[in-house]
Structure 1
Amino acid sequence: MYDLTGFQRDLLYVVAGLDAPHGLAIKDELEDYYEKEIHHGRLYPNLDTLIEKGLLEKSQKDRRTNEYSITRRGMREIEARTEWETQYINHAN
């Protein structure tokens, strides 16, 4: 996870949190969070990077729509990141 950009980490979390999300659902979630438009030219290349790294999988829902899901490796990366963050948050309290 250390080699991902913040945007890629956010993508990973969004895909993990949605039920079989497609590109536009992911885009909508990120636009709500970032409070600005996310262009396709930013979204899809970053999704492809996460697929290449083995963190996400892509399947075809229909002829025009792909669905994304998190892999076991992707979940392990999220869990490891959460543990790492928690040690610093707990230390601050």
Structure 2
Amino acid sequence: MYDLTGFQRDLLYTVAGQDDPHGLAVKDELEEYYETEVHHGRLYPNLDTLVDKGLVEKGQEDRRTNFYSVTRRGTREIEARREWENQYIDGS
């Protein structure tokens, strides 16, 4: 997780927080959070990076639509990140 950009980490969290979202659902969530447009040219290459790193799996819903899900490794990485953050941030 330490080698991910902030955007890639946000992508991972967004995928983890939804039930097998497709790319546009992830895009919509991030645009709401960032309050600005997320371009396809930024979104999909970064999703592919998460797939290449084994943190996210990409499936095909139909010929035009892919969906994404967090792998067990991705879940472990998110949990490890939370533990690390909790060392520095009081959760109260």
TM-score range, shorter chain: over 0.9
Matches of 1:9 and 1:83, distance apart in 2: 15
Q: Unmatched 5+ residue regions in structure 2?
A: none
Structure with the higher fraction of residues in helix conformation? 1
Moved over 4 A (4+): none
Letter in 2 for 1:20: D
The CA RMSD measured in Å over matched residues stands at 1.2
Q: Percent identity?
A: 78
Report the TM-score when normalising by structure 1: 0.96
Cα distance in 2 for partners of 1:82, 1:67 equals 25
Summarize the alignment of residues 1-93 of structure 1 with structure 2, pairs less than 5 Å apart: 1-90=1-90
How many Å separate the matches in 2 of 1:89 and 1:2? 17
- Normalization by structure 2: what TM-score? 0.97
Q: How many residues in Structure 1 have an aligned counterpart in Structure 2?
A: 92
